[in-house]
A and B are shown apart, each in its own frame.
Chain A
Amino acid sequence: MTTQLLTIIFVGITFLIYGVIAWLSRAKSTDDFYVAGGGVSPLANAMATAADFMSVATMLSVPGLIAYLGFDAAVYLLGPPGGFLLLGILIAPYLRKFGKFTIPDFIGDRYYSNTARTLAVVCAVFITLTYLAGQMKGVGVVFSHFLHVSKEWGVIIGAGIVFFYAVLGGMKGITYTQVAQFCILGFAFLVPIIYLSMMVMDSGFIFTSWGGKTADGVYLLDKLDGLSREFGFKEFTAQRRPTIDMFFIGLTLMLGTAGMPHIIIRYFTVPKVSDARKSVAYTLLLIAIVFLATPPLAAFSRTLMLESLNNIPYTDVPDWFKVWEKTDFLSFTDKNGDGIIQFVGGAANELKLDFDITFLAIPEIANLPNWIVALVAAGALAAALSTAAGLLLVISSSIAHDLIKKQLYPEMSDKRELGISRICIGVALLFGIYFGINPPGFIIQTVALAFSIAASTFFPAILMGIFFKKVAREGAIAGMLAGLVFVVVYIVYHEFLGGKADGYWMNISSQGIGVVGMLLNFTTTFLVNKYYGNEPPLEVQQMVEWIRYPKGVGGG
Chain B
Amino acid sequence: MDNNLQSYWKANLRILIILLVIWFVVGFVCPILMVDQLNSIQFGGFKLGFWFAFQGSIIVFVILLFVYARLMNQLDKKYGVED
Contact = CB atoms under 8 A, between A and B. Distances in A.
Interface in B1-50: 1, 5, 8-9, 12, 16, 19-20, 23, 27-28, 31-33, 35, 39, 43-47, 50
A292 B59 contact: yes
A250 B27 contact: yes
Contact of B58 (A78, A212, A246): A78
Interface in B56-83: 57-59, 61-62, 64-66, 68-69, 72-73, 76, 79-83
Given A86-B23, A237-B47, A288 B53 contact: no
B16 A219 contact: no
A518 interface: no
A550 B61 contact: no
Q: How extensive is the interface on chain B, given as a class?
A: 35 or more
The 10 A-B pairs of least Cβ separation, nearest first, read A219-B45, A74-B53, A281-B65, A550-B83, A211-B45, A295-B54, A549-B81, A277-B69, A551-B81, A211-B44
Interface string A194-222: 00000000000001101111000001111
A90 B76 contact: no
A208 to B, nearest CB: 8
Contacts of A115: none
A309 interface: no
A247 interface: yes
A84 B32 contact: no
Contact of B1 (A250, A273, A545, A553): A545
Given A251-B28, A277-B72, A81 B61 contact: yes
A82 B23 contact: yes
Contacts of B83: 272-274, 550-553
Contact of A274 (B1, B23, B43, B76): B76
A288 B59 contact: yes
A551 B45 CA distance: 50
B72 A93 contact: yes
Contact of B33 (A82, A211, A221, A243): A243
B45 A213 contact: yes
A188 to B, nearest CB: 21
A277 B15 CA distance: 14
24 contacts: A74-B53, A74-B54, A78-B54, A81-B58, A84-B61, A86-B23, A89-B65, A208-B44, A210-B45, A211-B44, A219-B45, A272-B83, A273-B83, A274-B83, A277-B68, A277-B69, A281-B62, A281-B68, A288-B58, A288-B61, A295-B54, A548-B9, A550-B83, A553-B83
